[in-house]
Amino acid sequence: MDLEMDLRRALSKEEFAVYYQPQFDTTNRRIVGIEALLRWQHPERGMLYPDSFIPLAEEIDLISRITLWVLDATTAQMRQWMDAGIAPPRLAVNLSALDLKHTTIVDETIQTLQRHGVPGNRLELEITETLIAQDITRATHHLTALSHHGINIAIDDFGTGYSSLNYLHRLPIHTLKIDRSFVRDIAPERNERSVIDAIIVMAHGFNLKVIAEGVETEAQRDWLEQRNCHTMQGYLFSRPLPVQDIEELLRASQ
Ligand code: G
Ligand code: G
Ligand code: NA
Ligand code: MN
């Protein structure tokens, strides 16, 4: 079995699917966004998660086609939700480290939005710090162009990579996503200052939205609320769901 060969065919064989995980505002329990998470329904191996094929896709230079497929599929989905009156305010799509290196990513993203009639402010692109640090000049250029079209930029896994306060205010960033490793380590009984505290204070100081990911327990939720982080994503609220299930949730939360 050759995973590389399978991956090269997966797009044309329509083996990819998008799962959707909601992000909640815990002050009013409303869905403020939905993150799109890619799945590969492999004919023999069953459902594969991004960690097991995205690195390979990057290596064999297939990642930009996959990213475009995800952007197209999720934007079309967003349009349907808008027409049905159940659209979440925003849809978050993950970019891979290689996507921002391609000069065409900005145009292709804009064209995809226009093709489906979805305004830029409905889209949030999640990128990692490492990606920005690798090529700050190019990243600045692309992210600025994207944000001129209303597209939001979120820093994913924030706090785990090379964080520079310098880029935070130089770049058009809207959201920090606190990495789930910090959320996992929350110990309610301890009262000392934590990395999360620092991230939340900093986010507010820079006028950025902040979202905690990987929230699994009520204790973690309560602790985060106390620290003024009210946007959360994680198994406590919902797992990533196939489209039918997320639609049910969207309808129920109207
Ligand atoms: O549920 P989860 O296993 O889906 O995601 C694991 C990792 O894969 C996360 O770091 C997430 O950012 C990344 N990921 C999920 N979907 C996509 C996608 O469509 N494109 C890229 N490049 N990464 C994704
Ligand atoms: O890196 P990124 O943040 O985009 O990854 C999202 C990943 O986290 C996905 O694999 C998703 O399935 C997973 N995930 C979402 N919520 C939780 C959670 O509450 N706990 C854990 N352990 N993983 C989660
Ligand atoms: Na992500
Ligand atoms: Mn993350």
Q: What's the pLDDT at 101? A: 86
Q: Whose CA is nearest to atom 12 of ligand 1?
A: 94
Cα of 23 to ligand 4 centre, how many Å?
Answer: 12
Ligand 1 pocket mutation, candidates 23, 38, 123, criterion most atoms within 8 A of CB: 38
CA 136 to chain centre: 20
Q: Whose CA is nearest to atom 24 of ligand 2?
A: 214
Q: What's the pLDDT at 135? A: 82
pLDDT tens-digit series, residues 226-254: 999 999 999 999 999 999 999 999 999 87
Phi, psi of 48 (to 5 degrees): -110, 145
156 three-state secondary structure: strand
- How many domains would you assign to the chain? 1
Q: Is residue 172 part of a domain?
A: yes
Please count the other Cβ atoms lying within 10 Å of the Cβ belonging to residue 133. Answer: 14
Residue 162 Cβ contacting ligand 1 at under 6 Å: no
pTM (2 d.p.): 0.96
Q: Is residue 177 part of a domain?
A: yes
Phi, psi of 103 (to 5 degrees): -70, -20
- Rounded to two decimals, the ipTM of the complex is 0.95
Cα of 50 to ligand 1 centre, how many Å?
Answer: 5
Q: Is residue 49 part of a domain?
A: no
- State yes or no: pLDDT of 222 exceeds 80: yes
Burial class (CB in 10 A: 0-12, 13-18, 19+), 20: buried
What are the pocket residues of ligand 2 if the criterion is a CB atom closer than 6 Å to any ligand atom?
21, 37, 94, 156-157, 180, 213-216, 234-235, 240
Cα of 103 to ligand 1 centre, how many Å?
Answer: 22
Please count the other Cβ atoms lying within 10 Å of the Cβ belonging to residue 103. Answer: 10
DSSP 175-218: EEEE-HHHHHT--TT--S--HHHHHHHHHHHTT-EEEEE---SH
pLDDT tens-digit series, residues 83-96: 999 999 999 999 99
Q: Is residue 37 part of a domain?
A: no
Question: Scanning the structure block, which residue is given the tokens 């959360």?
Answer: 232
Q: Is residue 97 part of a domain?
A: yes
Residue 70 Cβ contacting ligand 1 at under 6 Å: yes
Cα of 213 to ligand 2 centre, how many Å?
Answer: 7
Q: Is residue 113 part of a domain?
A: yes
Q: Is residue 60 part of a domain?
A: no
Query: Which domain range does residue 214 map to?
Result: 66-239
Q: What's the pLDDT at 180? A: 94
Q: Whose CA is nearest to atom 1 of ligand 1?
A: 37
pLDDT tens-digit series, residues 161-219: 876 777 787 889 999 999 999 999 887 777 667 889 999 999 999 999 999 999 999 99
Residues listed for the chain: 254
- State yes or no: pLDDT of 9 exceeds 70: yes
Q: What's the pLDDT at 191? A: 65
CATH code (residue 166): 3.20.20.450
Cα of 241 to ligand 3 centre, how many Å?
Answer: 15
Q: Is residue 26 part of a domain?
A: no
pLDDT tens-digit series, residues 102-147: 889 999 999 999 999 999 999 999 998 877 777 888 888 999 999 9
Say if residues 22 and 31 touch (Cβ distance below 8 Å): yes
Question: pLDDT tier at 1 (50, 70, 90 boundaries)?
Answer: low
DSSP 108-121: HHHHHHHHHT--GG
- Please state whether beta strands 152-158 and 123-128 pair in parallel, antiparallel, or not at all (unpaired): parallel
d(CA 101, CA 67): 13
